Each structure stands twice: as C-alpha cells, then as structure tokens.
Structure 1
C-alpha cells in the first residue's frame, strides 16, 4: 500500500502493471532508502532527542520515537511513565 501511495496509483493498478522483478527492485530500494513515513518519524525523533538532551533531559532515542503499532493494552501506561520521566528531567533546570 505504501508503494502505491507514493507512486500515486492504486494497488490494483500496480498489480496489473508491475512485474515481480520491478517489485523486487522496489523492495531493495526500500531497504536502502525507506519509502514509508517511518523515515520521517526517525528523523524527527533524532531532532527531538538532540534538542531535549541539549536542555539536560535524560532521554533516549526510543523515548521520543513514535510507535504506530498500537500494540498491547498496557502501552499507554508505559508512554505515560516515559512522559513523566521526560518532564521530570526538564523540570530540574
């Protein structure tokens, strides 16, 4: 779906026109230069981490990276705890 979105085509159009070889090339390209929105999330997390750390906050890359997985039910509690730690680190200044 991501490839169809990036190319401005429907999945069905890609199925009808794209060969297996071309799809394999796109998959290899995605490994080198991601075509999904994940790349932007990683870049934003790097900037956020650098800014927060420059202000003395004790945060890691995983603390600021968005998780779009929507996984376990206890995930919001973990996120709340991470935010509390983040704000506590910022309040020390």
Structure 2
C-alpha cells in the first residue's frame, strides 16, 4: 500500500465515509474519486492532520523551554519509514542539538 498512494487514500476515504472499500468502489465514480483525492491534497483531514497539529503544539511548547529551536517536523512520526529505536532517536536528537550548540 505504501507504493500506491491512491489505494491508501481509497481506504482512508472509505473509513471517513463509514463504508467498506467494496461499497465505495460500487457507488463512487472515478471522477468523484479524483475530486475527493484532489480536495485531500489541498486540505488533508484525519490522522495526518491531527499529527501535524500535535507537532505544532509540541514545538511551540518545547520552544518555550529549549535553547535550541524545535520544528514541528522534528516531532512528526514518519509512518511510512521503518521505525527506529527510541534510544537511536534520542541519540540523533542529542547529536543534532550538540552540533547546533557549537
């Protein structure tokens, strides 16, 4: 599914509309699907949007107390990439912070 963003979106749309993918395919025209997909590209909804919102709030909160600037992208979970260990993530953050501090 990672290699096919349209299929991934099809499942997201079905879940959003409270239908199965099979129901969606039998009632939704391709033109309407393309319009839904275009609308999502302009204004995404669902879990991704909530993750972005949480990262913005987190970066603003951390920014009040940290000497280094934290970007929302630093706090985003990258679901399509293989997960790295918590230790490796912390070590990477500390290494970047050390570089910025020198």
Give the 3-state SS of the residue equivalent to 1:4 in structure 2: helix
- Looking at structure 2, the residues matched to 21 and 70 of structure 1 have their Cα atoms a distance apart, in angstroms, of 31
Give the TM-score taking structure 1 as reference length. 0.76
Give the TM-score taking structure 2 as reference length. 0.70
Contact 1:48–1:64 (Cα < 8 Å) also in 2: yes
1:55 Cα deviation from its structure 2 partner: 1.1
> How many residue pairs align between the two structures?
84
Asked if residue 61 in structure 1 is aligned to residue 72 in structure 2, the reply is: yes
Give the 3-state SS of the residue equivalent to 1:9 in structure 2: coil
- Looking at structure 2, the residues matched to 27 and 18 of structure 1 have their Cα atoms a distance apart, in angstroms, of 12
* Structure 2 unmatched runs, 5+: 1-10, 98-102
Q: Which residue of 1 aligns with 2:27?
A: 17
Contact 1:3–1:35 (Cα < 8 Å) also in 2: no
RMSD: 2.3
* Structure 1 unmatched runs, 5+: 89-93
Q: Structure 1 residues 61, 40: closer, same or farther in 2, change over 3 A?
A: same
User: 1:36-59 CA deviation, whole Å, 9 max, x = no partner?
Assistant: 310110010000000001112522
- Looking at structure 1, the residues matched to 88 and 56 of structure 2 have their Cα atoms a distance apart, in angstroms, of 21
Match of 1:35 among 45, 55, 61: 45
